[in-house]
Structure 1
Amino acid sequence: MKGKKSLKFKIVTAMTILLVILVSTFFIYVNSYYRASSLALDNLKSDSVVQVEKDGDILFKPVANGKDIGFIFYPGAKVEMSAYAPIAKEIASNGYTVIIAKMRFNLAILSPNRADDIINKYNDIQSWVIGGHSLGGVMASDYALESDSIKGLVLLASYPQDKRDFRNSNIKTLSLWGSNDKVANLNKVKEAKNVMPSNSEFIEIKGGNHGGFGDYGHQSGDGEATITNKEQMNYTSKCIIKLLDSMN
């Protein structure tokens, strides 16, 4: 009897230690993330053209002449959501409401349906486009394919999961990536064209890299960009605005 109790105690102790190690490892992992840099932080301020509100998600709302098309953005994995403020604010300055979605532990894979709450909250918006960077784009494409509310999809250095097929959908799609990206699988990024509607746009940004879609410094393992991240974000904004304009 004593031997059985001793064995049970050892098993419980071992399992408890393993659980503590796993939980500790998870929290160390998720609390190590890329933080927004100065350009992004500057774009979190409201001005005469765009009102910025941070209440969980970050809202960029045109002060005047707002259109009834909204853009939901899913950040890349382990990237602070504020890092994408320059792109969001530029789009909003052209009349489109933009919401950067807050993800649990900065991982879109843990909040794949975050867009549900956003769409329900902003019911004055008639049409929605969703997009995302890297893993955020993967989750955004999943949501787009399953939701009747989404009319457009923007992929930044991203692609849909395997077996996702958009060819029979009416979702307008824009895919952008940097030529010097060493983080994303660029073969999969480009091959995604085979499962997208025929009118989809696939654009390579010469000299851009993976981290250049946001303002959060150099991402580990990424290639060196030959353009600034400001240039990459400005070009990206223009392409997204063109897509949104085409939906009016």
Structure 2
Amino acid sequence: MLQHSPLTSSQPVSLWTCQKDALAFQFHQEFPRLFPTQRRFSGTFKTTSLLLLLLSPSYPIAVASVACGLFWLVLRPRWQQSQPFARGWYEHRLDANPTALDVYAQHESSIRIVDSLYDLFLPSKNKDSVVALVFLPGALVDARAYAGVCHKLRQEGNNLAVILLQTDRYRRLMSPFFGLNEHALRDVMKHATNELAQANCSVRNWALGGHSLGGLTAQELLPKMPEISQLVLWGVNYPRATPISPTVTELVVTASQDGFRFSDPPPSTPEIQRYEIKGGNHGGFGDYPHQTYPRPDGTRTISLTEQHEQVARVTAQFLLS
């Protein structure tokens, strides 16, 4: 059976309990029945405000009524603009393919599932010191879609552990705006250190990485986390010519058929190593259905196994160099 490590009250809480969730996103998903009633709600709201204003002799109530009406006039355009985004986000979530889910059944002894926080892929050989990579999944994607490539990654490096952060059932953005910050990451790192110690492993070096929006989030959090010495970016197509930090080395892995690729990356530098997977696409960094939102992904011309082997090999070489 898979090894479950329940959290106690002294251990980190879920990364997504932060109350800064996007209002429209959560509201539209929890109450989809309100979609067809928006106009009726708007008319009722304005009518009620007008009646309160005309019929009430109380000055405070009249002022409050006017204020509510003005507030709705400001809020309504934003409400209307948020509907396509919220619906698109909800309808285009990407589940893991069965082949990715099979990894859990095939390699039970090498994976520890820590509640809803993360999956820990233990080193293929227990070492006194390991490199630990905290990996952030892309937007809309079930984190389990990366199980196959994470397993290959731990196989490529004998003393490499991967901490794959989980998403909730809404596949919420891996972004500080949605509750993921440096404090939450440090809690996860602390808890993962204890989990690795139970497997006779100690962490000598921490790395942070991610795919797509997860990689962009890793970039944003990196300056706030001096304990991170390496950054790994998969399918992040916003090239930078200069490193984020002079003390951090970076690996940027791109794919030639990536539908989210907007420009060719600049050449490698001593601080930023770059690698392109010929024939790979955006979704090939994980294992999930073809992505069509917010734009179509390219068509992969190599096998998924080949793309996973390439990205795992170059990432392991970078982390253990």
1:2 aligns to 2:65 (yes or no): no
CA distance in 1, matches of 2:239, 2:54: 53
Alignment of 1:75-114 (within 5 A): 75-93=137-155, 94-103=158-167, 105-109=171-175, 110=178, 111-113=180-182, 114=184
Could you tell me how far 1:103 is from its partner in structure 2? 4.2
1:62 is paired with a residue of what secondary structure?
Answer: coil
| Cα distance in 2 between the residues matched to 1:245 and 1:234 | 16
Match for residue 284 of structure 2 among 189, 212, 216: 212
Quote how far apart the aligned CAs of 1:205 are.
0.7
Name the stretch that deviates more: 8-17 or 100-109. 8-17
1:104-183 superposed matches below 5 A: 105-109=171-175, 110=178, 111-113=180-182, 114-123=184-193, 124-158=202-236, 165-166=242-243, 169-183=246-260
- In the other structure, the counterpart of 2:297 is 222
Task: Go from structure 1 to structure 2 and tell me whether the alpha carbon gap of 1:118 and 1:13 turns closer, same or farther (over 3 Å shift).
Answer: closer
* In 2, Cα distance between equivalents of 1:161 and 1:103: 26
Residue among 222, 225, 233 paired with 2:308: 233
Contact 2:124/2:154 (8 A) holds in 1: no
CA deviation vs aligned residue, 1:75-121 (integer Å, no higher than 9, x gap)? 11111111111111122233322111134643111224342222222
Whether 2:122 is the aligned partner of 1:61: answer yes
Aligned to 1:200: 272
Q: Compare CA radii of gyration and give the structure with the larger one.
A: 2
Aligned-residue sequence identity (percent) comes to 26
Q: Is the 8 A contact 1:134 1:184 kept in 2?
A: no
Work out the CA distance in 2 between the residues paired with 1:133 and 1:153.
12
CA 1:49–1:167 in 2, change beyond 3 Å: closer, same or farther? same
CA distance in 2, matches of 1:47, 1:27: 36
Call closer, same or farther: CA 1:58–1:16 in 2, change over 3 Å: farther
CA RMSD of aligned residues (A): 3.3
Q: 1:12-36 CA distances to partner (integer Å, 9 max, x unpaired)?
A: 8946994876787665444331110
Q: 1:26 to 1:225 in 2, by over 3 A?
A: closer
Q: Deviations over 1:121-142 (max 9, x none)?
A: 2334231111111111111122
Output the CA distance in 1 between the equivalents of 2:89 and 2:245: 37
Residues 54 and 31 from structure 1, CA distance in 2 versus in 1: closer, same or farther, beyond 3 angstroms? farther
Partner in structure 1 of residue 102 of structure 2? 42
* Aligned positions, number: 240
Contact kept, 8 Å, 1:37 with 1:83, in 2: the verdict is yes
SS of aligned partner of 1:45: helix
CA contact (8 A) 2:135 2:210 kept: yes
Aligned counterparts of 2:320 and 2:188: Cα–Cα separation in 1: 21
- What amino acid maps onto 1:107 in structure 2? L
TM-score by length of 2: 0.64
Higher mean alpha-carbon deviation, 62-71 vs 81-90, is at 62-71
2:272 and 2:82 map into 1 onto residues whose CA distance is 42
